[in-house]
Chain A
Amino acid sequence: MAEEIETKLKNYRTAPFDARFPNQNQTRNCWSNYLDYHRCQKALEEKGVDTAPCDWYKRVYKSICPMSWVQKWDDQRDEGIFPGKI
């Protein structure tokens, strides 16, 4: 399982087609992956398990999300005013 993820990450080129977001509007794609990464981090850290599987979500949101949005959300998380549920 871990090897599969490692291979996927090693061969990563860019965010692949996601059938959940097949159309023009990719806003939700960016938002979902950002949330999924931080939820994954939080969940695996609480369990004390290696958080490497979460890196997939990180690569995808880094590819898709504008840097200014990521910056804004990171700042909001630091201040405790992030609107999403992590």
Chain B
Amino acid sequence: MAHPSQLGFQDAASPVMEELLHFHDHALMIVFMISTLVLYIIIAMVTTDLTNKYILDSQEIEVIWTVLPGLILILIALPSLRILYLMDEINDPHLTIKAMGHQWYWSYEYTDYEELGFDSYMIPTQDLSPGQFRLLETDHRMVVPSESPVRVLVSAEDVLHSWAVPALGVKMDAVPGRLNQTAFVASRSGVYYGQCSEICGANHSFMPIVVEAVPLEHFENWSSLMLEDA
């Protein structure tokens, strides 16, 4: 989850997010280097008493500052496109879950075998137990088996919402009447938090998402329990 005064991304919990994180490091490093160079040049220009009145042109530097940025762009584009196509790979999910956005909660449906459906409301601040996270916890979590490809079909029952879990590198708009597909693999067991990412009314900030990745047998136990309770 996010922590106070955080600067970077949350730790990646899926292979795609890991790739995105490393790509961001790469692109940001290039950006820092260019910015440092520009800042240096600005300061150098501003803090000199010397004036040059006689340079009109220079073929060499023109070539350099055309080719080098071109190369840098290619250096950014290649990993970027690699990840883009990686995210677009055909995956073979083990499980399909539907995430339906409502005003103002999410509901999850697991209907591959039985018809399991439940709502997921935010726990109000006054009802939190010590150690729980304000505005992030929900009464029911979306439990998934770890290390299994999961397909999530996102839609909405009323207005636009968006289902996002940063640690998994997932964000997908929830559009009424449309079924948007996304997929992820939770690399490790854990609890991953997200928040609704499309303005949807008064309680838009109070309909979080919690994904709990557990080993497969625990997932099977959980789904049996949930079916009994339903």
Contacts and interface: CB of A to CB of B under 8 A. Distances in A.
Interface in A10-53: 12-17, 22-27, 29-30
A34 to B, nearest CB: 12
Contacts of A17: 90-92
A79 B115 CA distance: 24
Nearest to A29: B179
Given A63-B111, A63-B112, A14 B94 contact: yes
Interface of A: 12-17, 22-27, 29-30, 59, 62-68
B100 interface: yes
B180 A22 contact: no
A14 B94 CA distance: 6
Contacts, number: 62
A66 B155 contact: yes
B94 A22 contact: no
Nearest to A21: B181
B117 A14 contact: no
B92 A22 contact: no
A15 B96 contact: yes
B27 interface: no
A16 B91 CA distance: 9
B151 interface: yes
Contacts of A29: 179
B96 A67 contact: no
B94 A13 contact: yes
Most buried by B among A14, A23, A24, A68: A14
Nearest to B172: A24
A25 B178 contact: yes
A14 B95 contact: yes
Interface in B103-139: 109, 111-112, 115, 117
B157 A68 contact: yes
A14 B148 CA distance: 12
A68 B111 CA distance: 12
Contact of A67 (B111, B177, B179, B182): B111
B92 A16 contact: yes
Contact of B96 (A14, A22, A24): A14
Interface in B148-185: 151, 153, 155, 157, 172, 177-182
B69 interface: no
A26 B157 contact: no
B9 to A, nearest CB: 23
B136 to A, nearest CB: 25
A35 B178 CA distance: 17
